[in-house]
Amino acid sequence: MKVLVTGATGFVGRHLVAALLARGCEVRAVARNAEPAQGMPWINHVEFVAADIHAAELNVVALTEGIDALAHLAWPGLPNYRALFHFEHNLMADYRFIKSAVEAGVSQVLVAGTCFEYGMQSGPLSESTEPRPSNPYGLAKHTLHLFLQSLQQEQPFTLQWARLFYLHGEGQNPNSLLAALDRAIDAGEASFNMSAGEQLRDFLAIETAASHLAAILHQRDFDGVINCASGHPVSARALVEQRLHERGATLALNLGHYPYPTHEPLAFWAVTERLQQLLGESP
């Protein structure tokens, strides 16, 4: 199986490439800049292409030649979820690229969706929960999904829409919770500023998420939406305390220093029965 991975040097992409190689796949890895790719441990084991997939002059036919499946992860501008360019630019540029890939003969497409498609809905969220995006990023992703479903009616292909929840690990945004905590520990800080920490989220290690995405790609007859998450609600405070325990750190938590984010509900997590079924795991 030969997979084209866009956004290959990004947080998710770098780990998905590794997971696909571990499964014996051939990988054509695409990223805008070649320099970060040179530092990837897999660089000598993939066919790397430096390209901007949104560029009008991109030769999509050549880029997708011999490809069995497209894993589309590229999406510029994160984590600025409220920026209008998500639907003013990324939405249509992504649609044009994926449509061109399908027209070039790619019959299977996996796209990274987001838990923000569910919007401000609380509690356990399943794939059958109606999307109600409340920020530009979530709106753009949901609209892209609708566009691609319409495209399927005209140009049949398999569409695997993986809604990612809260991923953490090597390569994550340096301003994310655990990355900031690790910096504070490494710097020998006496305390760590955070929110009150009571918000419940669905956290998943990036290596596990990448393994799940690789497994979904290998289920070539699966078409539809799938939550890529742990299925277990964990408070932000518990996550931080777990990391402190793992690292043997005794740093004091300055709880309530930051207000809770306004772009997400206080408590939400994924229902993962579909994922478990696809992976052959018992609930």
| Tally: H helices and E strands in the chain | 10, 14
**What is residue 264's predicted lDDT score, i.e. its pLDDT?**
87
> How does pLDDT run across 148-183, given as a tens digit for each residue?
999 999 999 999 999 999 999 999 999 899 999 999
What pLDDT does 261 receive? 85
Exposed (0-12), middle (13-18) or buried (19+): which is 221, by Cβ within 10 Å? exposed
Residue 224: its pLDDT value, please?
A: 98
Note whether 206 and 11 are within 8 A (CB).
yes
* pTM score of the predicted model: 0.95
Instruction: Please name the residues in contact with 3: beta carbons below 8 A apart, sequence gap of 6 or more.
Output: 20, 25, 26, 27, 28, 67, 68, 69, 70, 71, 217
Residue 65 predicted with pLDDT over 80: yes
In this prediction, residue 71 carries a pLDDT of 98
**For residues 227-253, average pLDDT:** 96
Q: Which domains are present in the chain?
A: 2-167+203-228 (3.40.50.720), 173-201+233-269 (no CATH)
pLDDT tens readout for residues 30-63:
999 999 999 999 999 999 999 999 999 999 999 9
95-117 confidence digits (pLDDT tens): 999 999 999 999 999 999 999 99
Query: What pLDDT sits at residue 25?
Result: 98
CA dist., res. 36 & res. 118, Å (int): 33
CB 214 within 8 A of CB 71: no
Whether the per-residue pLDDT at 18 is higher than 60: the answer is yes
